[in-house]
Amino acid sequence: MKDLSVNLLLEFPEEHRVERVLWIDPGMRGLYAIDIRDANALPEFYQAEEIEKMRDAGEWRVVENDPWLLALADENISEVYRDKRDSAWETIRPLIFDQPAIFDAIARSEAVKRGMEESGVTKQTIYRFLRRYWQRGMTPNALLPDYARCGGLGKDKSVSEKKRGRIPDRDDLGVNVTSEMRQLFRAVATKKFITNSQLDFRGAYDELIADNFCERVINEHTGQQELVPQKDIPSLRQFRYWYEKDNDVFRLDRIRRTPRVYDKDMRAILGSSTAETVGPASRYQIDATIADVYLVSRYDRTMIVGRPVLYILIDVFSRMITGVYVGLEGPSWVSAMMALTNAVTSKVAYCRQFGVDIQDADWPCQAMPDVLLGDKGEIAGKTIETLIKNYQVHVENAAPYHADWKGIVEQRFRLLPARFKAFTPGFVAPDYQERGARDYRLDATLDIDQFTRIILYCILYYNNQHPLSEYEKSPDMIADRVPEIPCELWEWGVAHRSGSLRAFAPEKVQLSLMPSDDATVTATGIRYATCFYTCEKAMEEHWFERARQKGRWKVRISYDPRHMDEIYLHEDVKRGKFIPCTLTEKSRHHRGRMLWEILQVNGEERRSQRNHEPQALRGRINLNEKIKGIVNEAEAMRSEAPPPSGSARQRIGNIRENRSKESQENRKREAFRMLPPGEEAPGTAAVLPFPKTKETDDYRLPGIADIMRGQREDQGDDDHGG
């Protein structure tokens, strides 16, 4: 009986009775209780042995919900009710504190008589006040009158000839809605209104009147039938009233909007993300958004590359932004893992890449979370198994159309642009694409590195200076006067809640979370994404010579899409060994570039080639036509020429002699001359041929060296000079 307390409710299921404990003997010999539902009940004493015996037999159990326990503020109680309560309280107050005598029938009878004399009220009234006080929770508010239970609250009024409800603001008084009309209302609501999302409420009312309260009448002017509403029809107000009264409007609205949309935009939000955490790094939320700013390429600043994707990880406990990724690839698992990698590594070196110098204390987050909540499409499937198995992270996925489950990180996406949108060219304003609005894409000025630098400065401001207006601080936080600043909350949480955070070797985390793919070993290097790489292992084992001589093959690599100067060859996957491979000179123009930029450049080159393809096709067609024309001309000349004399053997045997004659003619035609054609220079010397030894036939066409040598021979100049 020691676990029982005053005011506790005990339910006796078999007897359908609930009793309230009024008093417990300090010596644990027994207790007084009263039935809270019996209109004539009085306190009854139970021996301790009796109570324990009934408990062991399962005859009673504790009731958690008290039907009479009401949390009422005095300002919400009418003055009339308060006066009656206070009057009843003054009547019984001298009696109720005389415990346990007031619970005994004889002593209570004497006390009631004294109360009658002092207050001037009847015996029945005092007993009614005492019973109400004991049954309803033993508080002054238990004596409030029950006027709220009077009348027909919640019951429909009976139908009569008299018009119910407010007086309409028109000549006719309207009609009373009957049960048959209500059935018609429900039919229109369930068969037409909720099944057609394009039909508004007035449209549903029009359908109701057209189908049930109209007559077909011949129009005297047109001779056609028309629908004419009857005189006594329900109004739109009545239709709306009974629609809301007879239907679960929230359930119907959920069907009308579709459950996914309703649960995302219309459902109640009662939970608190902070309540699910123990301390810093207990739970992270991750999400992505497409930033409302257009960027230019680092390769060509006249080329607009679109809007970047921004990934953010938030620590739920402290609201600290623990990781970030800015890229030009769409939201994906690769980008999510890059953001998570950033969250578990030091930010000093990362910020230095973009010209932002910080200390570890400025961004002290490099811990692996216990729980990660994100979108199903980005952190689901086999690709996330590495994170789960290697680092014991529990992964949770928000259901489709439930971005509000990640409310904290969603709020950051609204906060960060507020810091930079006023100063950033290319930012998409709300009037974008409205008629007459400026095309903000043409204002693009920043590249991806510059935009990342802006985001980093915004994050540093948010983490270290931004006050959280609606943060739910615990009592110990209030006692320690912890400022509502993310960095301050993080440091306090590490010291008082989480303790030592889970940390892993940054390079191991990076390599295990990097995306993997197949690369190709070629004669010019290890090719991936049109870039070529090399490493010591490949050079020592003559991979590139083998690829040229015996053919190409695939190797497994990991890569960081933010920085493609290196890829990592999987040497021994079971032991987690990787070999870094660097860019070759052939791909030196891609140094310092992201994967997206490299693919973008390659795409532009392919697009340029495709755009040039019609012109190239036209050139090839015209070239073929010219070749065919020349061939046709030669064939026509061959057919017009006289038939060759001599046998085929003789013709072949004269090739060298014919070639010599043709060469002589070509030399004359190809010789450089300063005189007009046909005019000979004075004193031209005759050409004397030198005796030559017999040579074998050579049917090769003369090269430029042969032509120049022949010219020197024609002009009397030999190799020794003259």
Say whether pLDDT at 402 is over 50: no
pLDDT digit string, tens, across residues 639-680 = 888 887 777 887 787 788 888 888 887 877 777 666 665 665
Contact 330, 377 (CB under 8 A): no
Q: State the average pLDDT over residues 340-344.
A: 85
Say whether pLDDT at 704 is over 80: no
Encoding tokens for residue 481?
Answer: 């006067």
Coil, strand, or helix at residue 5?
coil
Tell me which of 82 and 381 has the higher pLDDT.
Answer: 82
pLDDT for 172 equals 56
pLDDT digit string, tens, across residues 247-300 = 877 777 777 777 666 555 555 544 444 555 678 888 888 888 888 788 888 878
pLDDT digit string, tens, across residues 423-475 = 456 555 554 455 555 677 777 888 888 889 888 988 898 899 888 877 888 88
pLDDT-based confidence at 722, cuts 50/70/90?
Answer: very low
- Strand ordering across the sheet containing 44-47: 44-47, 30-35, 17-24, 9-12, 61-63
pLDDT-based confidence at 90, cuts 50/70/90?
Answer: very high
What is the b/e burial string over 383-393, where b = at least 16 CB atoms within 10 angstroms of the residue's CB?
bbeebeeebeb
Cis peptide before 100 (omega within 30 of 0): yes
pLDDT for 335 equals 78
How big is the chain, counted in residues? 722
Say whether pLDDT at 115 is over 70: yes
Q: What angle do CA 718, 721, 722 make, to 5 degrees?
A: 95
pLDDT-based confidence at 689, cuts 50/70/90?
Answer: low
Has this prediction a pTM greater than 0.75?
no
Give φ, ψ of 569 to 5 degrees: -80, 135
Q: Which domains does the chain have, with CATH numbers?
A: 8-149 (no CATH), 179-266 (no CATH), 283-505 (3.30.420.10), 514-593 (no CATH)
Helix axes 201-212, 236-246, angle to 10 degrees: 100
Q: State the average pLDDT over residues 612-619.
A: 83
Say whether pLDDT at 699 is over 80: no
Encoding tokens for residue 600?
Answer: 């973008």
Tell me which of 562 and 708 has the higher pLDDT.
Answer: 562
pLDDT digit string, tens, across residues 219-232 = 888 878 888 888 88
Tell me which of 128 and 705 has the higher pLDDT.
Answer: 128
Query: Which H or E element spans position 553?
Result: strand 553-559
Q: State the average pLDDT over residues 8-13.
A: 91
Q: Of the ranges 156-170, 386-400, 557-571, 598-612, which one carries the lowest mean pLDDT score?
A: 156-170
pLDDT for 488 equals 92
Give φ, ψ of 596 to 5 degrees: -60, -40
Q: Of the ranges 121-130, 151-160, 339-348, 609-618, which one carries the lowest mean pLDDT score?
A: 151-160
pLDDT for 526 equals 93
pLDDT for 98 equals 87
Encoding tokens for residue 521?
Answer: 């070993």
pLDDT digit string, tens, across residues 625-644 = 888 889 998 888 888 888 87
Q: Which residues pair with 334 in a beta bridge?
A: none
Give φ, ψ of 218 to 5 degrees: -80, 125
Say whether pLDDT at 80 is over 50: yes
Q: State the average pLDDT over residues 531-558.
A: 91
Q: Of the ranges 385-389, 397-401, 428-432, 502-506, which one carries the lowest mean pLDDT score?
A: 428-432
Report which of 298, 369, 319, 376 is spatially closest to residue 562, judged by C-alpha positions: 298
Encoding tokens for residue 258?
Answer: 């579709």
Average model confidence (pLDDT) across the chain? 79
Q: What gap in Å lies between CA 445 and CA 293, rounded to an integer?
A: 10
Collect all residues with Cβ–Cβ distance below 8 Å to 339 and sequence separation of at least 6.
286, 311, 312, 313, 323, 324, 325
Contact 307, 295 (CB under 8 A): yes
Tell me which of 122 and 164 has the higher pLDDT.
Answer: 122
pLDDT digit string, tens, across residues 130-165 = 999 999 988 888 898 876 555 555 555 555 556 666
**Residue at 628: amino acid letter:** K
